[in-house]
Amino acid sequence: MSTASRTTGRIVIALALSALADAAFATGAETAKDVQVDPAPCLAAAAANDDDKVVPLCSTVIDHEKTAKPDRIKALIVRAAAFERKEMYDSAISDYDAVLRLDATLADIFNARGELWRRKGDRPKAVADFGAALKLNPDHPAAKANHRSLAQELERVGALKAVEGKPSFNCATARRAVEKAICASPDLANLDREIYGSYVRALQEAPTPRDARTVKRQQEAFIARRNAQFGKPGYDLQKAMRERVQQINGADGY
């Protein structure tokens, strides 16, 4: 979990615990006929980080018909945090949905829900929630950090999609049979681009000029062998390209 996520979680839970504590004190002063469900057990479980107790105890507060709106909101927030720690993301999102139906002015909750959408891989919903949090509070630090990092992530994804299925060279000028075969296959084209990108990185990271020359010679030898062997019986172009990727990046992919 990111630092921003942990900070958001602490803020949200602190707000919830504070409100539940006030509610617990107020409950003792009410007349018997108006007694609401006691939020103290939910509060105690949350303070003890006992998620197995938080869920049923806070559910009692949430589901009780006489629970005041502020108490229900805070109990929902506490239970959502417990669901999140249990990696029950759909349940946590459902609780945050309920919170925002009761009060749509809570920037912290929009940000918290956005983090869950992002964890589930739904970037559009995550962006929408981070944006909603910033609209309510333009200086919200976690939402600002989340929105910025997600925007950068989407930019990288967009750049990758733009070159998907395209090799490292211009197919319009391809003359060799092997180059035309690579251009005709998205899988081979992606492999070619991966080989070239890894090769460039290896050159840049070479500790000495001598090492850089070795990397360059290896790449030239691979290209020459590929050009000469393509089309001959027993030559597997895709296999050869995968082996070249592994040779550059190492067995662990680095």
- Let me know if 33 is exposed, middle or buried by CB neighbors in 10 A (0-12, 13-18, 19+): exposed
Q: What is the pLDDT of residue 252?
A: 45
Residue type for 121, please? Answer: G
Q: What is the pLDDT of residue 7?
A: 54
Q: What is the pLDDT of residue 204?
A: 87
- pLDDT, tens digit (0-9, with 9 covering 90-100), for 190-201: 999 899 888 988
CA gap 222, 241 in Å, rounded = 9
Q: Which residues of the chain have pLDDT under 70?
A: 1-35, 157-160, 251-254
Instruction: Show the domains of the chain with their CATH numbers.
Output: 3-160 (1.25.40.10), 171-249 (no CATH)
Q: What is the pLDDT of residue 25?
A: 46
CA atoms within 13 A on the CB side of 112: 32
Query: What is the DSSP secondary structure assignment for residue 253, as one 8-state letter?
Result: T
Cα–Cα distances in angstroms (integers) from residue 32 to residues 22, 28, 29, 178, in the given order: 18, 9, 9, 86
Assigned token pair, 236: 């597997």
CA gap 234, 212 in Å, rounded = 32
Q: What is the pLDDT of residue 222?
A: 96
